[in-house]
Amino acid sequence: MANPVTMPNISDVDELRDRYAYPEDLRSPWLRINFVSSLDGARTVEGSSGGLGTPADKRVFGVLRELTDVVLVGAGTARTEDYGGARTNETRREWRLAHGLAAVPPIAVVSASAKIDPASRLLTDTSVPPLVLTTSNADADNKRRLADAGATVLELGADTVGTDAIVETLDDLGLRRVLCEGGPTLFGQLIADEAVDELCLTVSPLLIGGSAGRIAVSPNASTYPMARAHVLADDDGTLLTRWVSARPRR
């Protein structure tokens, strides 16, 4: 294997697409997780991840969205970060269609409560309807309002949405190249359930201190071995790291 620590021209989008290509001929969903963190492990600055992003991180964030069938995200992140639909333009749509992808990937939000504002950007600023992966015990009015606003509302559990149900549902929908953008609660569950295939972690050249939490939280700790796929360094100090699970796939 070539030296994985390289300094390519990080503005070269075609090279980034190659480096972040999903495995071919997937027979089940591949769960890629994407996060950014500070050098001292903070997941946010003043409550959101925006302050951690660097130009290289933003470029990779965009490329990862270009390559995916679906953006999976926890409701906490969708609410805090004011998620809208995936940004698109004609070039991006054409590139995706030419590469066997739908023109625009939908956002799939995981929410036990279905407490998502039907007037939020998720519903109003998108070119494709979002999926809401929720529970049978979520408030019926919340679900009805989201469905009325155009969301596809799917009940995947009684009180919580299990990892297997998420994976099976995405598989049934033919959405196998999955990009999970967090948040930490959802990521923690995926770690606990040994469902992480890949982590793309940007390390931002910042020290933050404070009390910001980590990128994964769950009730119990577990050890999940990962193998380095690449580390790309930008001139400003940003490290773009990619790790794949060292475990056999489920």
Binding site for ligand NAP (CB under 6 A): 35-37, 43-44, 47-49, 52, 73-77, 80-81, 110-113, 115, 160-161, 181-186, 189, 215
Helical segments of 68-162, H only: 75-80, 90-98, 121-124, 140-148
Provide the minimum distance between the beta carbon of 47 and ligand NAP in the complex, in angstroms, as a whole number: 5
Nearer Cβ to ligand NAP (49/68): 49
For residues 122 and 82, the answer to whether their CB atoms sit within 8 Å is no
Nearer Cβ to ligand NAP (189/241): 189
Provide the minimum distance between the beta carbon of 187 and ligand NAP in the complex, in angstroms, as a whole number: 7
Provide the minimum distance between the beta carbon of 25 and ligand NAP in the complex, in angstroms, as a whole number: 28
Q: Which of 142-165 are b and which e, b meaning 16 or more Cβ less than 10 Å from the residue's Cβ? A: bbebbeebebebbbbbeeebebeb
For residues 107 and 78, the answer to whether their CB atoms sit within 8 Å is yes
Nearer Cβ to ligand NAP (91/211): 211
- How far from 5 is each of 10, 167, 178, 233, CA to CA, in Å? 13, 32, 25, 7
Provide the minimum distance between the beta carbon of 97 and ligand NAP in the complex, in angstroms, as a whole number: 28
Provide the minimum distance between the beta carbon of 204 and ligand NAP in the complex, in angstroms, as a whole number: 9
Question: What CA–CA distance (Å, rounded) separates 33 from 178?
Answer: 8
Nearer Cβ to ligand NAP (10/200): 200
Question: What CA–CA distance (Å, rounded) separates 191 from 147?
Answer: 30
Nearer Cβ to ligand NAP (103/226): 226
